[in-house]
Chain A
Amino acid sequence: MRRQRQLARRLATGLGGSAAVLLGSAVQAQLEGSPFGAAAESRVTVQLSTDADPIGPGRTFHIAVRFEIAKHWHMYWKNPGEGGISPSVRVTTPPGYVASQVLWPRPVAVTTPLGLEYSYFDEVVLFVPITAPTSLGDATVTIRVDVEWAVCRRLCLLGSATREITIATSSRPGIDGGTNARLEAFKKRLPKPLARLEGALIVFDDSTLTLTGPAGDATRAAFFGVDGPGVEFGAAKVTVGNGRFRVVVPVALEPLNAGGRAMPVGGLVTLGEAADDPSYDFVIASDNKPGLSKP
Chain B
Amino acid sequence: MKASTLFVTFGLGTAAAVILAASATAMAGEGKTVKIGDPAPNFTLTDTEGKKRSLSEYMGKIVVLEWTNTECPVVQRCYKRNTIQETVGHVKKLDKDVVWLAINSTKTTNTEQNATWIKRYELNYPILLDIDGTVGHEYDARRTPHMYVIDKKGILRYHGALDSAQDRPKPDKPVNYVVNAVQQLVGGETVAPYYMKPYGCSVKYKN
> A-side interface residues toward B, CB under 8 Å?
20-25, 27-28, 31, 36, 78, 80, 82, 84-86, 88-90, 101-102, 114, 148, 150, 156-158, 194-207, 213, 227, 229-232, 251-259, 284, 286, 288, 290-292
Contacts and interface: CB of A to CB of B under 8 A. Distances in A.
A85 B75 CA distance: 13
B123 interface: no
A207 B29 contact: no
Interface string B22-50: 11111111000000000000000000000
A213 B201 contact: no
Contacts of B80: 36
B27 A195 contact: no
Interface residues of B, number: 53
A85 B200 contact: yes
B204 A198 contact: no
A158 B72 contact: no
Nearest to B171: A88
30 contacts: A21-B202, A27-B73, A36-B80, A85-B74, A85-B200, A86-B166, A86-B168, A88-B170, A114-B202, A195-B18, A196-B16, A197-B16, A204-B21, A204-B22, A206-B22, A206-B26, A207-B26, A229-B193, A252-B24, A252-B26, A252-B28, A253-B22, A254-B24, A254-B25, A254-B26, A254-B29, A256-B194, A286-B22, A288-B22, A288-B23
A202 B18 contact: yes
User: Per DSSP, are chain A's interface residues mostly helix, strand or loop, or mixed?
Assistant: mixed
B38 to A, nearest CB: 16
A102 B168 contact: yes
Interface of B: 1, 3-4, 6, 8, 10, 12-29, 69, 71-74, 76-77, 80, 108, 142, 164, 166-170, 175, 190, 192-197, 199-202, 204
Nearest to B9: A195
The residue in B16, B168, B170, B175 that gathers the most chain A C-beta atoms within 10 A of its C-beta is B16
A232 B197 CA distance: 9
Nearest to B26: A252
Contacts of A201: 16-19
B27 A198 contact: no
B118 to A, nearest CB: 16
A229 B163 CA distance: 12
Contact of B15 (A90, A195, A207, A286): A195
Contacts of A156: 73-74, 201
Contacts of B21: 204-206, 290
Contacts of A90: 169-170
